[in-house]
Amino acid sequence: MSADAHTPLLKVDNLESFYGPIMAIRGVSLEVHQGQIVTVLGANGAGKTTLLKTISGVMDPEKGTVALKGDEIQGSAPDAIVRKGVVQVPEGREIFPILSVEDNLKMGAFTRSDRAEIAADMQLVYEYFPILKERRTQEAGTLSGGQQQMLAIGRGLMAKPNIMLLDEPSLGLSPLLVKEIFTIIRRLNEEQNVTMMLVEQNAKVALDVAHYGYVMELGRIVMGGEAEKLQKSKDIQEFYLGAQQDSQRGQRRWKQRKTWR
Amino acid sequence: MDIVQLIVSGLANGCVYGLIALGFVLIYKATEAVNFAQGDFMMLGAFITLGFTNADHMDLPFWLSVTMAIAIMGVLGYLLDFLVLRRMFGQSQVAVVILTIALGFVIRFIAGAIWGHEPQSLESPISGIELRFGGIVLGMDEVWIIIITLVLTGLLYLFFARAKLGIAMQASSQNQLAAYYMGIPVKRIHSMIWALSGIVATIAGILFASKGSIDPSAGLLGIKAFAAAVIGGFGSLPGALLGGLIVGLVEPFAARYMPAGYSQIFPYLILIVMLVVRPHGILSQIQTKKV
């Protein structure tokens, strides 16, 4: 954990976003500190992706603030926010299918103009994802799902972000690939000191790599704490890690209540 | 001998169709809108050049006029997107189609009001000279049209393959959302694409007007170019050129060997056959997303 724990790298305060009349996130507040991996867990429709989109400027919030190192950035254009060092690795890869792998990575560095450093960062990405180097001239659409996810993460790194917003990197990948991707995520955090906000449904892998975690339900943060604490929490085990508790009658109660309801 | 001449003049026509088709495809790929005023852009670009350089208008030097026309049409394309089409964002495709058709009419009448409705030809250094090789007579204009189109295509290819801005244009047409996530200013890129297609249309117009005469209704050529773009595979830049060349080549041969009046049908006949046999066109880029 970082030393300057008092000024968070990213601070989201009371954020509200709408899809037309539907309120998708209802007053979310959270903090991410330099060097941390912070995970946001939640089921489908909890508002996790909306939260990331609102932070990265693809959606504008109705209320609330997003502060990066103390500067408010909510409502700015997405390219301005990328320039400030917040980059989102979107859900479901979203690579550029007909561009080569290398051109995809170059587009990650679109907002930068320091040629030498961009080249160095590309080598770094190739070090972490050797398969991308092997396939660098291939069209990205011809890569497998796992390789596309690697490319999406690599492309995000090319922006040299202060904070990387990862939206469900485990989506649609085999358990083995999920393990591989998360190993690399942890290495990037430890070796390159990349701060990350990780949105996941796969609570087990997410809590394994994260330092801190939040649980989101129906657009609200309902729980937050150190990752180890969350892992031990009964509610998390029951609802996100799939542990089964025996009730007094020796059967699983089908209508278990969550403590936050 | 005949055949060589037919091929050359077909190719020259085809190059003009191909360049207009290129404008269609550029805008369609980037913004998913079809600009039915593309043919009128071509006409307007030609008339602006003609207005600057012809002796009975402003009588400016040819290359200066070309440069100014290209600049004006680039700015016009940019502003059109910036001021009008950006406001249509999120509206249905039909609205955009109708808007561009209406725009075509407006351009046609403005051009008529300024330069008159009579056919005029551009006084360009490449028009009216004949080249003789043995028994073959080729128009200098036709040869130049082919050369200029080749050079322009090469430049565009290099721009899209190598330049950061060109790759970003491709990227934002392939996956707009991801382009936003990467910090590519997608809206500005759209305006730049409109500028680029205005420039390409102007070059097509200058070539077309050097080859013969042009009048404000020449923009209807855009329909033929649209057919060419569909034949080549709407959404593929090389396809647009190929489609243009096919339409251009078929025309003189049909005119030569078919009864009079039937030759005009051929481009559309090819279009219909193509839509039945290979609806995505010859060089289509169809991508399915992996999940």
Is residue B247 within 8 Å of B260, Cβ to Cβ?
Answer: no
Structure tokens at B142: 């036709």
To the nearest whole angstrom, how far is the Cα of B198 from the nearest Cα of chain A? 25
What is residue A139's predicted lDDT score, i.e. its pLDDT?
93
Confidence class for position B252, pLDDT limits 50, 70, 90 = confident
What is residue B101's predicted lDDT score, i.e. its pLDDT?
93
Taking CA–CA distances from B168, the nearest residue in chain A reads A107
- Phi and psi (nearest 5°) for A221? -80, 120
Confidence class for position B289, pLDDT limits 50, 70, 90 = very low
Taking CA–CA distances from A106, the nearest residue in chain B reads B164
- List strand residue ranges (DSSP E) for B165-222, in order: 213-214
On average, the pLDDT of chain B sits at 89
- Can you list the residues of chain A whose pLDDT is less than 50? 1-3
pLDDT in tens, B151-180: 999 999 999 989 999 999 999 988 988 999
What is residue B263's predicted lDDT score, i.e. its pLDDT?
77
**What is the C-alpha to C-alpha distance for residues A50 and A224, in angstroms, rounded to an integer?**
19
Among B167, B185, B289, the residue with its CB nearest the CB of A103 is B167
Confidence class for position B135, pLDDT limits 50, 70, 90 = confident
The one-letter amino acid at B104: G
Answer yes or no: do A78 and B180 touch at CB < 8 A: yes
* Residue B291 clears pLDDT 70, i.e. is over it: no
- Has residue B229 been placed in a domain? no
Secondary structure element (H or E) that encloses residue B254, with its range: helix B237-257
Q: Which of A19-23, B50-54, B80-84, B123-127 has the lowest mean pLDDT?
A: B123-127
- Has residue B123 been placed in a domain? yes
pLDDT in tens, B200-229: 999 999 999 988 889 999 988 899 999 999
A–B CB contacts, 8 A cutoff, strictly below: 84
What is residue B52's predicted lDDT score, i.e. its pLDDT?
94
- List strand residue ranges (DSSP E) for chain B, in order: 120-121, 130-133, 136-139, 213-214
Sequence spans of domains, chain A: 10-94+160-239
Contacts of A96 in chain B (CB under 8 A): 170-171, 174-175, 178-179
What is residue B286's predicted lDDT score, i.e. its pLDDT?
56
To the nearest whole angstrom, how far is the Cα of B160 from the nearest Cα of chain A? 11
Stronger pLDDT, A56 or B127, i.e. the higher one: A56
Answer yes or no: do A77 and B185 touch at CB < 8 A: yes
Contacts of A93 in chain B (CB under 8 A): 290
- According to DSSP, the residues that pair with A18 across neighbouring strands are A23
**What is the C-alpha to C-alpha distance for residues A221 and A210, in angstroms, rounded to an integer?**
17
Taking CA–CA distances from B186, the nearest residue in chain A reads A79
Chain B residues whose C-beta sits inside 8 Å of any chain A C-beta: 164, 167-168, 170-171, 174-175, 177-185, 285, 287, 289-291
- Has residue B100 been placed in a domain? yes
What is residue B4's predicted lDDT score, i.e. its pLDDT?
85
State the angle between helix axes of A145-157 and A115-128 in degrees (0 to 180), rounded to the nearest 10: 150
The pairing of beta strand B213-214 with beta strand B120-121: antiparallel
Answer yes or no: do B183 and A79 touch at CB < 8 A: yes
Number of domains comprising chain B: 1
Give the residue carrying structure tokens 């991508």: B287
Confidence class for position B110, pLDDT limits 50, 70, 90 = very high
**What is the C-alpha to C-alpha distance for residues A172 and A181, in angstroms, rounded to an integer?**
12
- Has residue B52 been placed in a domain? yes
Specify the DSSP class assigned to residue A139.
B
Answer yes or no: do A98 and B170 touch at CB < 8 A: yes
What is residue A1's predicted lDDT score, i.e. its pLDDT?
41
Contacts of A77 in chain B (CB under 8 A): 185
Structure tokens at B138: 């080729």
Answer yes or no: do B182 and A107 touch at CB < 8 A: yes
Number of other CB atoms surrounding residue B68 within 10 Å: 16
What is residue B290's predicted lDDT score, i.e. its pLDDT?
42
pLDDT in tens, A99-144: 999 999 999 999 999 999 999 999 999 999 999 999 999 999 999 9
Answer yes or no: do B182 and A108 touch at CB < 8 A: yes
Query: What is the average pLDDT across B80-88?
Result: 91
Give the residue carrying structure tokens 């009588």: B59
* Domain A10-94+160-239 belongs in CATH node 3.40.50.300: yes
Full residue range of the structural domain in which residue B106 is found: 2-220
Mutate to test the interface with B, among A88, A94, A157 (most CBs of B within 10 A): A94
Chain A residues whose C-beta sits inside 8 Å of any chain B C-beta: 56, 58, 77-79, 81-83, 87-90, 92-99, 103-104, 106-108, 110-111, 141, 143-145, 148, 155, 159, 172
Tell me the range of A226-235, B16-25, B133-142 where mean pLDDT is highest.
B16-25
- Has residue B48 been placed in a domain? yes
Confidence class for position B262, pLDDT limits 50, 70, 90 = confident
Taking CA–CA distances from B178, the nearest residue in chain A reads A94
- Has residue B269 been placed in a domain? no
